[in-house]
């Protein structure tokens, strides 16, 4: 949003901030503030830097009024975990620790990165162009059907494709704890 950071909030934005500060969800707060498309506008408001600053001030006001802090919340949860430990309620202990971890920010979204080589990208593109029948045939035939040929693959990739599968090629031998019949 290209909003001027020094510009004051509108009355509608102020009502939104107060509603969120009182515990309403962003959609419910937007609806309470009079926005027509509450879910969309609530989402957008929660990304507006001026609204976020006002929300932080509103939350601080409620913290001071209730004499509450993160530390007090965590201390209370630790106390509840101790009681759960005395009563041997493992699930309550786990729930308490999970909540503390959430408050501390340990459940931040994880990002996974997948690197695909040029050859891998070419393979993906080839598969995406296949019809359902061709894909079914590829699945049914397994390794016997190849995409194009493997001449463009590096040596190490070819070796992986041609390596025997130790679990499939191994003779039928019992597991160490099984007795031969």
What is residue 155's predicted lDDT score, i.e. its pLDDT? 63
How confident is the model at residue 59, as a pLDDT? 85
pLDDT at 164: 54
**b/e map of 71-99 (b: 16 or more CB within 10 Å)?**
eeeeeebeeebeebeeeeeeeebeebeee
What is the mean pLDDT of the segment spanning 44-71?
A: 87
Residues with Cβ within 8 Å of 92's Cβ and at least 6 positions away in sequence, in order, are 80, 81, 84
Q: Is the pTM of this model over 0.85?
A: no
The arithmetic mean of pLDDT across residues 68-83, rounded, is 90
Residue 169: pLDDT band with limits 50, 70, 90: very low
The string of pLDDT tens digits covering residues 121-144 is: 777 788 888 888 888 888 888 754
Residues 88-92 have a mean pLDDT of 93
78 φ, ψ (degrees, to nearest 5): -60, -40
Q: For a pLDDT cut of 90, what percent of the chain falls above it? A: 36
Residue 16's Cβ-count burial label (10 Å; 0-12, 13-18, 19+) is buried
Locate 54 and state its tokens.
Answer: 């006002």
């Amino acid at each position: 949003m290209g909003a001027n950071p020094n510009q004051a909030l509108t009355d509608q934005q102020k009502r939104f901030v107060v509603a969120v500060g009182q515990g309403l969800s962003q959609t419910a707060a937007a609806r309470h503030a009079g926005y027509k498309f509450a879910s969309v506008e609530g989402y957008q408001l929660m990304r507006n830097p001026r609204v976020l600053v006002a929300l932080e001030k509103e939350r601080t006001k409620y913290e001071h009024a209730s004499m509450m802090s993160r530390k007090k919340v965590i201390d209370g949860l630790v106390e509840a975990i101790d009681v759960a430990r005395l009563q041997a309620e493992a699930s309550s202990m786990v729930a308490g620790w999970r909540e503390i971890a959430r408050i501390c920010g340990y459940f931040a979204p994880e990002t996974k990165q997948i690197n695909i080589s040029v050859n891998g990208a070419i393979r993906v593109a080839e598969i995406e162009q296949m019809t359902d029948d061709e894909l079914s045939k590829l699945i049914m035939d397994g390794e016997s059907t190849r995409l194009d040929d493997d001449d463009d693959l590096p040596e190490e990739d070819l070796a992986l494709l041609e390596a025997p599968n130790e679990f499939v090629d191994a003779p039928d031998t019992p597991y160490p704890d099984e007795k031969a019949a």
